[in-house]
Chains A and B, each alone.
Chain A
Amino acid sequence: GAGVSQSPSNKVTEKGKDVELRCDPISGHTALYWYRQSLGQGLEFLIYFQGNSAPDKSGLPSDRFSAERTGGSVSTLTIQRTQQEDSAVYLCASSLGGRGLFNEKLFFGSGTQLSVL
């Protein structure tokens, strides 16, 4: 597609349920990032995928969070046993990859607003 696509746009769930958030990066982009944006906060790095390399999962806040990227394209962020503190906007971004963030532009999706009741 023309841009980074995220679905759903909004998700309301009950505490304890699992949720899956999807990101479709720009075709040909090898780098993919997930960020969490809590109310009144800047973006918090969650995970980074680059091509076929092992992902950098150092930003995932707990073992309830996991992400995968199938075929080097679509990525899914899964949150198990959701808690109220997981409520936030989850943003995905992609870039051509491999040249550093100054040399290549990051393209962001519009995010998924997750609300855990």
Chain B
Amino acid sequence: AQTVTQSQPEMSVQEAETVTLSCTYDTSESNYYLFWYKQPPSRQMILVIRQEAYKQQNATENRFSVNFQKAAKSFSLKISDSQLGDTAMYFCAFVMDSNYQLIWGAGTKLIIKP
């Protein structure tokens, strides 16, 4: 069975610093997709960034980038120049190709301090 593990329950950094959230997953599949979602206090999940497993190039979206290590089954999220609005729960998720069932990690609570 596929699993997703986020080993950091909570992290806090100062505004403008860079922070990295870790995620590891377990699967025997070769084709899959990985996601990072943000959940602010409003509870509404928002897609931050996504990565295709067959692409070696790491995805980037403005201040957000990933470090995808397929062999190690690791998918970390780096947030550069962190802002107060980045304070939220962050979830790593995985889905197999052409599937619709996302497998979710337990989340990391990120606090950006002014």
List residues of A whose CB falls within 8 A of some B CB.
31, 33, 40-45, 48, 50, 56, 59, 89, 91, 93, 100-102, 105-106, 108-111, 113
Contact = CB atoms under 8 A, between A and B. Distances in A.
Contacts of A50: 100
Interface in B69-99: 91, 93, 95, 97-99
B47 interface: yes
A100 B97 contact: yes
Contact of B106 (A42, A59, A110): A42
Contact of B45 (A45, A59, A108): A108
Q: Which of A31, A89, A106, A113 has the most B CB atoms < 10 Å from its CB? A: A106
Contacts, number: 62
The bracket for how many chain B residues form the interface is 20 to 34
Nearest to A112: B43
Nearest to A50: B100
B98 A100 contact: yes
B68 interface: no
B47 A101 contact: no
A44 B52 CA distance: 22
B43 A89 contact: yes
B26 to A, nearest CB: 14
Contacts of B44: 108-111
